[in-house]
Amino acid sequence: MAFNLLSIAVVSAAAFYMVRWRAGLRRRNAQSWDSLVQRLQPDWNAPALNYRFSGNAGQNATPEEMWGSVQGAHGLWAMYENARVMLEIADYAARNSASVDRELIAALRSDAMQVRVCVLRALVQYAFSQVNESICVNAYRAASMYSDMAAHMRQLIEVNAGGMIPASVAAM
């Protein structure tokens, strides 16, 4: 009796997962290039970090200055969300364009996943302690990778959007 209930639960869970996965595929395939690009959050600009804390200036910055430069947890979450959207844009370009640079797509995917991991690591550390050097190092590492990824994304959008760059991407 217990085995039958367990079997039904496993089959039901697998069916539920397959339905959600299929719905996600349909939703993903229904998105357009413009709708994906417009989902990028324009309220977070990471390139300023490269100028503010580059070279020796970054080594002399206090943890509080570094945390403030990435706008704390809000800035980290914006990076996390934008990395997800940029990953979707890269996937869309790979699916729908034969002329897209495959190395650029691979670099974008790798950067997006690294940014998301660094951001999650910093946010988990921040949730369990006060701002310290370790959290700031992870946050700053995520911001640096995000800045590089944003430059790659701008390049991808310039090539595939025919010169029409939204304001949110122009700020990257």
Residue 60: predicted pLDDT:
62
Shared domain check, 72 and 8: no
Expressed as residue numbers, the domain containing 104 is 33-170
* For the chain, percent of residues with pLDDT exceeding 90: 8
Residue range 119-146: mean pLDDT, rounded: 84
- Ranking 47-61, 99-113, 131-145 by mean pLDDT, the lowest is 47-61
Shared domain check, 39 and 121: yes
N-to-C CA span, the chain: 59
Shared domain check, 66 and 150: yes
Residue range 83-110: mean pLDDT, rounded: 84
Residue 133: predicted pLDDT:
79
Shared domain check, 153 and 84: yes
Higher pLDDT, 66 or 12: 12
Shared domain check, 144 and 99: yes
Name which of 101, 91, 78 is nearest 158 in CA terms: 101
Residue 42: predicted pLDDT:
66
Tokens 């403030």 appear where? 68
What is the separation of C-alpha 38 from the centre of its chain, rounded to a whole number of angstroms? 14
Domain count of the chain? 2
Mean pLDDT of the chain: 77
Shared domain check, 52 and 88: yes
- Tell me the pTM: 0.71
DSSP SS3 for 73: helix
Q: Which two tokens stand for residue 13?
A: 């869970």
Residue 45: predicted pLDDT:
55
DSSP SS3 for 136: helix
Shared domain check, 39 and 124: yes
Shared domain check, 101 and 17: no
